[in-house]
Amino acid sequence: MQQYILGIDLGTTNSALAFVETAADEAVVNLFSIPQLVNPGEVGVETLLPSSLYIPGPSEFVEGALALPWDERPSYIVGRLAQKRGVENATRLVSSAKSWLSSQNADPTEPLLPLAAPEGVAKVSPLEASRQYLLHIKSAWDQQHSEAKLDQQIVFITVPASFDAAARELTQRAAKLAAYGDVTVLEEPQAAFYAWIARNPNWREQVKPGDLILVVDIGGGTTDFTLIAVTEKGGELQLERVAVGEHILLGGDNMDLALARHVERQLAEKNTKLDAVQFHALWQQCRAAKEKLLSPEGGAEFPIAILGRGTGLIGGTVRAKLTRNEVRLLLLDGFFPEAPPDAAPQKQRRAGLLEAGLNYASDPAVTKHLAQFLRQAAKNTGEGGIAKPTHLLFNGGVLQAAAIEERVAEVLQNWVAQAGAPRLTVLENETKQSDLMHSVAHGAAYYGLARSGKGVRIRGGVPRTYYVGIESPMPAVPGVAAPMKALAVVPFGLEEGSKVELPQRKFALVVGEPAEFRFFSSLSRKTDAPGTMIDEIGDDFEELAPIEVFLPAQENDGRGEEIVPVTLESDVTETGILELWCVAKDGRRWKLEFNVRERHAA
C-alpha cells in the first residue's frame, strides 16, 4: 500500500529524504533522520546524508566496526564517516558522483572513481556510487518502516534542471539498481520553489500574473538558474517554468578551496607546509569559517587549528585564522563580483589532451554566469537586454552565508534598475537555515501532493528541445561525409505524459541491419516547433551519445536490409523518459528511447 510520498534530494554534496503520509487529514511534510556511521563502531542519525562513499582497505577497520542495523558487513562506507575518513585518505574517497552522471567526457557507467585511487583499489562508477547512496537511504527507511517498504511508496528524486535526458535516465537507473519501484525525477529549482509554496500558504497574495520568479540554487558542487512565470487561467494563478540554465560545475566546494589555498599560502610564508591530510582538514574548517564570517553575527575572525602529524600532536598543532575582510574579499569579489548585465564568463583555451575529469566552469564569477543566463532567456522571448525577474528565491547551502545572498540580490537589483524595471522582491522563508539544506527534499514531497490534487503544480515539462539527426542523400565524394540536418522532435516545455505526432513528414528508416541514430539537444532554442528541420547544426546544439541499434525488419523475420517509409512520433513518459517512435504505413512500429548511455533501443 502506498502510505507515503517520499522526496529524495540526491545531492552533489549532501542527500536528504522528506516524506508525507498520503492518508493524513492535514498533509505535513517531515524530514527523515538517516542512520549512518559517524565514527567506527558508532551509528548516529542525521537529516543529511553526505554524498560521500569510502572504499575501505582489507584491514583498515576492526571486525564489526562498519556494521549497520541492516548490514553487518557493508562493502562501502556511505555518509558522515566516509566524509571524515576521506579527509585522511582521499585516494579511497568518492565524491561529486552526481556531477559525473552528466559528463560528456567519460562514461558514467564505467569504474572511474576515485580518480586518484592507487593500484589495487577497485574503483566504482558514478552510477554505482549513486546506487549506493540511494540504497543506503532505502535500507534505512525499510529498517524503520517494515510495513511500508520504500519500493511500495510514491518516490520522487530530484536532479539539476540542466541535466539532459541521459543524466536523468542514469539517475532513474541508479534507483532501479537499488531496488526502488517506479520513480519520477523532478528539477531541483522547481522543488525548492514547491518548498516555498508549502511554507507560504498565502503565496497567491505575494505574486500576481505577469511576475517572473528567478530561482538561484548554489549548492556544494553546482549552480542552477531557473525562471518561473506566473500566469492566470480561468481566474486561477498558474506557474510555468520558462527557462533553465546550463549545468555549471561551480559551487561551495570551489569557495572553500579558495579559502584553504589562501590560508595555505599564509602558512607557507611562515615556513609551515601542510601535507594532504592536513590540507583536507583545513578545507573542511574553511567551510565553517565561510558560513560564520559571512553571517551578520559572525564576528571579525575565525580561528583555525590543524593537528600536527607524528609525535607530539598537540604541541605540533598548526594555527591560523581567517578574518571577515579576507573572506569577503576572496569570495564576494572573486565569485560574486559586481558585474554589468552584459558580462559573460571567460572561456579559457584548453590543452589538446586532458586528464579524465569533470567539466568544471572555467570562470568562477557566478554573477557573470547569471548575466549570461538572463540575456539568453530574454533572447528566447524575442526581447533585448536581459530577462527582468520580479521576484528572487534563493536555495542551496552556499546561501547560508548572508553576505553572499545580499551581494547577488544587490547585483540583480542594479541590473533590473538599469533596464527600467521595478525593484525585485526577495522571497523569504520562515525557517531559512533549515530550508536551504532541506528544501529540495521537502519540495519534492510536496510536489507529490500537488500531483495528487492537493497542491499547486508548476507547469514545466522538458527543459530542452530535442532533435534527431537526418542524413541528406548526396553523391559519394572522397573524404566528405553526407550532410546531417536536425529535426525537432520534442519541443521545449512538452509536458510529461504528452505525445507529438509528425504525420506531415516522411523519412526512410533502415531496418534489418545495424544502424546509428544521432540525437541533439539545445537549451537556447526554445521556439523550434516539432517538425522544424534545421539545415545547419551550430554551436547552440549539443550532441548526445549516438544510439547504435539493430531494428528487425519484422519480428522473427530473417530478411536482410530494408528501407521502410515511416513517420515519427515522440512521447514523454510520466517518469520523464523520452521516446521516439518510427511508424510504418503497414502498422509496424519501432521505438528508440533516449537511453543514450545504454546504446540500445527497447
Q: Which residues of the chain have pLDDT under 70?
A: 1, 24-26, 235, 309-315, 348-359, 382, 429-435, 455-461, 473-481, 496, 554-560, 574-577, 593-602
For 421, residues 6+ apart whose C-beta sits below 8 A from its C-beta are 388, 390
One CATH from 3.40.50.1000, 3.50.50.60, 3.30.420.40, 3.40.50.720 for 207-428? 3.30.420.40
Q: What angle do CA 454, 10, 184 make, to 5 degrees?
A: 45
Q: Are 331 and 294 in contact (CB under 8 A)?
A: yes
Which residue do the cell numbers 538599469 mark? 418
Domain segments of the chain: what residues?
A: 4-186, 207-428, 465-593
Cell readout for 521 is: 539537444
pLDDT (0 to 100) of residue 314: 46
Q: How far apart are CA 80 and CA 71, in angstroms?
A: 17
Q: Do the first three CATH levels of 4-186 and 207-428 match, i.e. the same topology?
A: yes
Q: What angle do CA 447, 449, 450 make, to 5 degrees?
A: 60
Cell readout for 478 is: 572522397
Cell readout for 284 is: 573542511
For 383, residues 6+ apart whose C-beta sits below 8 A from its C-beta are none
pLDDT (0 to 100) of residue 556: 46
pLDDT (0 to 100) of residue 160: 86
Cell readout for 518 is: 544521432
Cell readout for 66 is: 562498519
Q: What is the pLDDT of residues 163-193, one digit of tens each?
A: 877 888 899 999 999 999 989 998 888 899 8
4-186: CATH topology is Nucleotidyltransferase; domain 5 (3.30.420)
